[in-house]
Every structure is written in structure tokens, then in C-alpha cells.
Chains A and B, each alone.
Chain A
Amino acid sequence: MTHRSGPISRRALLAGIAAAPVLGACGGVSTTGSGGGAGSITLMSNQFSPVEEKQRFERILQERVTGEKVAFNQVETGIFASTLQTQADAGKVRISVAGALHGDLAPHASRLTDLDDVLASLSDRGFAEELTGLAKLGGSTTKYIPWMQASYVLAVHKKALQWLPPGADVQRLTYDQLLTWTTAARQANGGKPVFGIPAGVKGLYHRFFQGFLLPSFTGGQITTFRGPDAVTAWEYMKQLWAQTARASTTYDNLQEPLQRGEVLIGFDHVARLVGAPAGRPDDWLMVPAPSGPKGLGYMLVLAGLAIPAGAPEPAKAKNVIRALTTPEAQIDVLRQNAFFPVTNAAVPGDLPGAVALAEAAVKAQREAPGAILSLPPVGLGARDGEVGQIFKNCFKEICLDGRPVRQVLDAQARELDRILGELRIPCWRPDPAGNPCRVA
């Protein structure tokens, strides 16, 4: 073994191998989150995860929160829960303000400062009683200050109206009319579906089942999960899916496919729809979700601002909360990120076209006769993802894999019940507040 000549010198080989991981390591990202610097306080939130929304909110913080310097730390829901929990339980709280959905704050009620004094000082804001009631998180004191609200609606390109079934009012659709409409539209469109749902990896399609389809068909979300009405709902979903764009399983939001013209009718969170009509609002409609046999199920997304117990700079934190509930800040958030005011802030007439459309649709949905309010799951904490996944699994198995509805619902109900059995939490709307919440 002496003659070892090869086409490449050993040095070149080694250099090549050594260079590979070094070059590969160059793509690192900072994971430390906020970079506020000295004197600033941290606002941690699981909202505004799309980077454009995050940047726009950071600008709003700069402009509207003039007294304090705020570092905005945007995290995933799971990280939000574990950070709040570990910091509070270890007595080393670094976060001054936590902004999240009602359901994300609920499990941390005991870790949050009472904010009755702040709410009292904000009497001029005109929070709806329904919202301040929710903000007590089931107790007697205020645990968070309502921050903003949102919902999900249908965005419709006016081109799709030509296929609307006769007698149907696009502002007051039923689920059956939606199916007839999407079927006719698909046929007229050369067999290409025009309806889309956000069923991508980061899409919020489970909210469609939790807050819209199932409440409209069954009147509940959890207790009625496997009842006969739920079977009807999923059989309906199977038919609707047959008329839905196949690429929906790649849509994380609907505004991009709508804007590209891939689909003409789409259901999504308003913040993930407003990009579609942004350029030409006159071509678009935003309408309330359809209604089913039990009424118009819709999901209210309410976000609040809380202060963890033992947070640094609580006085500054309260100032930040006050600043974010001013009419100016509320309208800025509406204008730029399409989350709606929770206060009596007057909605100006010069809203961007898309936001005005969304505002009207959300209002009509809330005030519709037979509206059934549902909340995103409350009190699930870190298990929120798993419960959402149950609804996504139903969709995958029933609609994508074509399994029998009854069998899938029974199997998934067992999983759901097992999680709920471990959590022992009360039900949330629209289910009756039974304790503990279980699948019937």
C-alpha cells in the first residue's frame, strides 16, 4: 500500500470536506428575540406571526407608545405558554406585558396581575361588557385588558357572483347554497375549483371546523363532536372539499392564492384575507360565513394584554396597555393589521378599501340573526396544538383519505376525550360550561 496516487490531492479532499460544514454553518439566525436595549420593556405576544404584520406592529409601537420603549417579542403559541409559565414559576419574570388570545391567557390566570385599577382608569375607552366579562377569566377580577378582536369571513371576487344560485343572497349564504355555488362555479370554470380553504401546514383551517362548520351544524364544538349532527357536518364537508381547490393543502393563507387568481372564493382569518383586495377593492366582496341548520356559527378571536405577576416595570407596563387602547392605536392596528378595535374608537371613513370590507363583514356576521358565538379553545395551554390537530386529522382522514365519517369521528373523539380527561377544564362557548368538558 505505497502507491497512493489519485486524481485529487489529499489536501484538496480535506479542504473540501472541511469547508463544507463551515459554509453550511453560515446561515444561522438569532433566536434571542427582542433587541430592545437598556430601559426598554418587553411585550411578548403570539400574535402577528407573519413578518409583515410584525414589522407593522413594531412601527405602531414606536409611534403610539411614546412614553416607553417597547421591545416586541413575537413567539409561537407553545413558546408563549412555556415562557410565561417557567418565568412566573421560577420567580424570574422578564416580560412586562403579555399579549395573546383569550384562550392562551386563560390557563395562566393565577400568574397574571389583577388589572382592575387599569380597567377603571380606562372607562373612557368603552369596552363592550361582553369582552370585559371574558377578561375576568372565570374569576372576579380583571386579568387582562381587551386589546383587539378578529374573526374569519369569506372573501369573494365579484367574478364568482355570476354563478351564484338563483335566490341566494351572498350576504346571507347557507352552507347548502355555498355548495351549490362552488359546484356551479367549478363546472363553469372548466372543471377548475374556485373555492379555497387555508389547509396548509400553517393554515388556520381547523378554526373553520371548530368555530364555523360544526357550531352551525351541531350547535357545539366539543360536546357534540361525534353526534349524528357532526356526521352530517363532515359528510357535507366531504362534498364541499370535492368542489375545493386541491392546492388548498398548500395554502397557509388565502390572500395570496386569491390575489393570484387561483381561487375566487376563500375562507380565512380577516388578517390573512385583506391582502387580496388591497389593490382593487372594488372587485371584491367580504361576506359573513354561511349559516347551517343550527344557526350562523362564527368564531370571535379576542386578544388581551396582561401583566405577569412579578413583572419588571409594572408601572411602565400599565402605560403601554393604556397607550395601546387609545383610539389612535386601535385604529392603526385596524388599518394596518386588520384586527378590529375592542373599544368605542370611531371607525374612520377613509379606511383602506380591504379593511373597510372586512370590517363590514365581521360586523354583519356578529349581528346576524341566529349567530352562534364560539371561542377558540380556552384553557388548553400547551395542548392547544394537539386539539387543533384532532380537527385537522378529521379533515385529513375524511376528506383526503376518504375514510368513513363515523369511524373517523369515533377514533378522533377518543383522542380528544383523552386530552380533555387529563386537562379537566370547563367547556367554552358555544358548548355549555360543563365541568369538566368531555365529548358526549
Chain B
Amino acid sequence: MLAAGPRGQPVPGGLMPPGARRRGRPPAALLLIAPSIVFMAALFLWPLVAGVTQAFTGPGGPTTAYVRRMADDPYFWDATRNTALLIVVLIPLQFALALAMALLLRQRPRFAGLHFYIWVVPLAISDLAAGLVWLSVFTDRGYLNSVLDHLGAGPYAWLSFENPSTMFLAVVVAELWRATSMVFVIVVAGLQNVPRDYDEAAAVFGATYRQRVRHVLLPQLRPSLQVALILRTILALEAFAVAQALTGRNFPLLVGETYQWYYQLQNPNVATAIALVVLALSIVAAVGYLRLMRGQPGMHG
């Protein structure tokens, strides 16, 4: 808990003069965080409790029927596997790309501002619209197949359920295009906070560019990367509209399944059970990242 003096006693050196606080009045620290506690309780804790209740309560009292229903559904395990696969493949790629783009911008090329704006354009486009744009590229008679046809390579069914690897590839490419800009913005913002002095000092002592990135820039970028990693992982767990637009239910993802169960199948209980799985995965990922990034010795953000 937060540090506060014993109940009813003024905190030495506190903001309030001795005797100003009446008996039973809560400590200032508690008052200061009270609004956020109220908000957290109303907007996070209460829905969480309601969600758990909904997932585990049937008409006849507590039940695990909905969770079993979820686990028995042929789409659920595919969706879990696809979601995990997407995160594992997508996030390293996005971070590599975003870092490369941010480092390029740091070299102050001409029209740097213009490059920046062009690179953040996908941020302004809704998931579904992005999915539809890529659908027009990858669909059987889309732009990509037209180009291939012109080159004499013949069309290929990129999004067919029979070609799971190209279906996955299409989703990765679309998500990469759509969501890398968010990581990019965070990394650029982080880079602005890194003083050039260190970099220049390292250069004076003869460090190569590669060494400077590895030993000077990246350690100082760590807090930004941590934030971006957590945000991006949670958002990747929520990825849905792009895959939905590109593949329908052929490439199921967890959040798409909650939508399917809630909206198409009208079963909010199973939908909530799947949502709880997403929540659990998000928490595991966030805690994991926090521990991983804190645990390395000799590094200070």
C-alpha cells in the first residue's frame, strides 16, 4: 500500500500543518488516487467481475458449460494458435521495421517531415478499411493476381483455405502495413528524448554505427520500447478486422471468435469466456515484458 502516516496522525514533513486534519479523515495520498481507483473499479474491475460471472454462470447457477463449449468448438483452438502465431511473427518484424524507419529519420534526410507523415498515414485508417484495401490486392481477381497474370505467372488463390501459408502471409503483410506506424511513432518520440551527446561521445571514441545503436541508443530507448511492446502485443491480441476482411472465418482469431459468438451466434456467455482468455493472455504478456525488461543487469533506462 501507499506510504501514509498512522491513522489520524499528521505525516511529519507532510503538506498539511499539524492539527489541520480531523480524526478519521483519509490520508491525502488516498484522496489523490481515489479518482483513479474509482475509475479503475468502474471501468475495469466491475466489467471484469461481470465478465467472469457471465462466463461461469448459467441459468442453473455456476457452471463450466460455457468454457467447455468454447474448448469443444472447432474454431477455438485454431483461433488461439493463429493469434499466437500472428504475435510471434508480427511483433519482431514490426519492431525491426519501426526501428529502421526511426533511425533513418534520425539521419535528418531531406523532407523528413513529409516522410514522417506518410509513414503515420496507416494510423488514421480504420482496421476494416485497411483490411478491405488489402483484400482488393490479394483477392482471386485482385491487383496482385492481375500483375502476376500480366507477367505470365498465372493467378494464385492467396486467400483460399487450402493455402494457409499465403493466407497467413496476407494477414501479416496487411497488419504490418497497418500497425507498424504506431510502434514507429512511439520509437520516434523515444528517440527525441535520447541526447545526441552520448552518441557523439561514443563516435569520438571510435564506436561504429552498429555499436552505437546497440550500446548507446537501444538501452536508452528501452522505456519507449517497453511501452510499445506491451501496447502492440495487447493490440495484436485484439487484431480482428483485417483478418476478418481478408479471410472471413478461414483464419480465425480469438477476438473474431468473441464477435462471432456474441453477434452471429447470440451466445454472450461463450463470447465472454473467449474474451477472458484474451484478457489472461494480455496480462501474461504484459507481466512477462515488464519482468524481462527489468531483469537485465547493468542497464538503466
Contacts and interface: CB of A to CB of B under 8 A. Distances in A.
A37 to B, nearest CB: 29
Contacts of B157: 246-247
Interface residues of A, number: 44
A27 B196 contact: no
A400 B125 CA distance: 34
Interface string B185-201: 10011011101110000
Interface stretch (A6-14, A110-118, A140-148, A158-166): A6-14
Contact of B112 (A5, A7, A384, A397): A7
A19 interface: yes
Contacts of B264: 78, 385, 389
A393 B257 CA distance: 14
B50 to A, nearest CB: 19
Interface string A372-399: 0000000000111110010001001100
B249 interface: yes
Interface string A399-416: 011000000000100010
A248 B69 CA distance: 27
Contacts of B129: 27
B19 to A, nearest CB: 41
B161 A249 contact: yes
A3 B200 CA distance: 12
A385 B265 contact: yes
Nearest to B122: A20
A396 B117 contact: no
A411 B185 CA distance: 49
Interface string B153-176: 000010111100000000000000
Contact of A4 (B72, B113, B195, B266): B195
B26 interface: no
Contacts of A7: 105-109, 112, 116
B112 A20 contact: no
A11 B112 CA distance: 14
Contact of B72 (A8, A383, A386, A415): A415
Contacts of B263: 76, 78
B192 A13 contact: yes
A400 B191 CA distance: 49
Contacts of A76: 263
Contact of A389 (B108, B109, B265): B265
A386 B117 contact: no
Nearest to B197: A3
Nearest to A200: B248
Nearest to A16: B120
A23 B129 CA distance: 12
**Central interface residue in A5, A16, A24, by most chain B CB within 10 Å:** A16
Contacts of A422: 59
Nearest to A77: B266
B137 to A, nearest CB: 15
Nearest to A23: B124
A7 B113 CA distance: 8
Interface in A81-110: 81-82
